[in-house]
Amino acid sequence: RKIASAAMAPHLVGVTRAGGAARAPLEGRGGARRAAAAAHVRVQGEAGARGRSTVARGARGTWPGHARKIDYNKTYYPVKADTDAQEKVWYVIDAEGKTLGRLACLAANYLRGKHLPSFSPSMDVGGYVVVINAGKVGVTGRKATDKMYYYHRVHRPGTMKTETFDKLRERIPERIVERAVRGMLPKGRLGRHLFTHLKVYPGSEHPHDAQKPVE
């Protein structure tokens, strides 16, 4: 049996205790397994002793885990100064030859401030948007004749009115852009506030030259 145990677990032959002599291989059935378990316990004990000494060193201030102060404010969050209306940038977008959806998406991004590194979804960090030539905005496919706009008075049955894209563009072209942009803004107080920063004009002229808008 001694020979069989040594043949089955040759790496356990001569395992020693700390400061002791070599022990003979364990005998009987499962001797190799018991020897492996004993070796594992000794290794865990040595690791625990090393860990206790490391913690003791940490109490003296040499543990690298407390070598620097942890900064919990790495992520920048906008402050009130970032939402100052006097510091906002004005943007001009020419709607001539542009698709309605892509134009509205671009305007909504500028209104919300998604193009800025300081963007926060709950803050008004965007700028003002001036859309000119709203009467020349286009749509794809057959939306010019198939796209319908609905309007009705609240609690007034039978007052719903329908209008196609072409008819609304001839009558009130700026309303088309306003509806498209409003649908891409947040629903709530923030969205209603951001919508007031949108200025839409049917022609190429606008009265915001004093704000020095960026094209």
pLDDT score recorded for residue 29: 53
CA-nearest of 181, 174, 145 to 162 is: 145
Mean pLDDT score, 10-18: 49
pLDDT score of 57 more than 50: no
- The pTM (predicted TM-score) of the whole model is 0.63
Question: What is the percentage of the chain residues whose pLDDT exceeds 70?
Answer: 67
Question: What is the percentage of the chain residues whose pLDDT exceeds 90?
Answer: 53
Mean pLDDT score, 124-142: 95
Question: How far is it, in rounded angstroms, from Cα 183 to Cα 18?
Answer: 75
pLDDT score recorded for residue 126: 94
pLDDT tens digits, one per residue of 32-55: 767 776 766 665 666 555 555 444
CA-nearest of 125, 127, 124, 134 to 104 is: 134
- Phi then psi for 102, rounded to 5 degrees? -65, -35
Per-residue confidence band for 100, with pLDDT thresholds at 50, 70 and 90: very high
Question: How far is it, in rounded angstroms, from Cα 96 to Cα 167?
Answer: 18
Q: Which residue has the higher pLDDT, 148 or 9?
A: 148
pLDDT score recorded for residue 68: 56
Mean pLDDT score, 14-24: 49
